[in-house]
Chains A and B, each alone.
Chain A
Amino acid sequence: MEAFVHIAAAAGLTGDEAKAASAAGSAGFAYGLAAIGPGIGIGYLVGKSVEAMARQPEAAGMVRTTMFLGIAFTEALALIGFVVFILIGL
């Protein structure tokens, strides 16, 4: 947050403008961080699912169903980050 305040000050913004700019910057930064974890999680989840389907194709239907639900649950974390972003930053 401090870094964004300094950047806003360096850009010539003062008072409320600087505060709004630093809030928007912080929110965007937080959203970016919030998207990293689910990205790693989805990659790991889908990788393991593909491995399971390649090993045991007869179980692919079950694996695909649970994989899809897992993707959606993991994505919920990114959505929570996004909602924090729109509530603070927009």
Chain B
Amino acid sequence: MSNEPANSSMNPMVTRLEGEAPEIQVSLDILKRGAYVAPIIIAVCAVFAGMDGAFSALYGIAIVLVNFLFAAGLVAFTARISLGLMMGAVLFGYLVRLGLIFLAVILVRDASWISLTALGLTIIVTHLGLLVWEMRFVAASLAFPGLKPRK
């Protein structure tokens, strides 16, 4: 958490942050937790929607995890250039990421192995579930660093 300003000016347009990128750590953490829960989600979808559900769940989990990594990479990369650029990149990145998710679903909507219900529910449940899990960890480590939970 040691982000030193690279220059003394406090103008957000020229201020840049160097050092470690916490969002990369957070997203890698989410990726790790996603790998833990993926078999459970795939199994649940397989029970309710068969093999189509399993493949759709796998695809949905991949979409969510890639989305997290892409968002974190964008913030980490642009924060090293300037805070103003980071703000712009986050805003336009939001649109770009929504577009990419839309494209990823449009490309497979007519595939024989897709179950749109399983895919949609997997995207929402995985995204929110992993966030809440990660937030519990982050909130505890920010408030009580000495009591940082292991998992």
Chain A positions near chain B (C-beta within 8 angstroms): 35, 38-39, 42-43, 46-47, 50-51, 53-55, 57-58, 60-62, 64-69, 71-73, 75-76, 78-80, 82-83, 86-87, 90
Contacts and interface: CB of A to CB of B under 8 A. Distances in A.
Contacts of B119: 86
A64 B87 CA distance: 12
Contacts of A72: 68, 71, 127, 131
Interface residues of B, number: 51
Interface string B54-87: 0000000000000010011001000100011011
Interface stretch (B7-15, B31-39, B40-48): B7-15
Contacts of A42: 90-91, 94
A1 B102 CA distance: 22
A51 B83 CA distance: 9
Nearest to B128: A76
A64 B124 contact: no
Given A50-B86, A62-B142, A69 B12 contact: no
- 8 tightest A-B contacts by CB? A61-B1, A83-B120, A60-B3, A68-B23, A57-B5, A65-B22, A54-B12, A50-B83
B116 interface: yes
Contact of A47 (B87, B124, B138): B87
Interface of B: 1-5, 10-12, 15, 17, 19-23, 26-27, 68, 71-72, 75, 79, 83-84, 86-87, 90-91, 94-95, 97-98, 101-102, 105-106, 109, 116-117, 119-121, 123-124, 127-128, 131, 134-135, 138, 142
B140 to A, nearest CB: 12
Main secondary structure of the interface of B (DSSP, over half): helix
A35 B98 contact: yes
A87 B117 contact: yes
B90 A71 contact: yes
Nearest to B27: A68
Given A64-B75, A87-B116, A87-B117, A54 B83 contact: yes
A39 B93 CA distance: 11
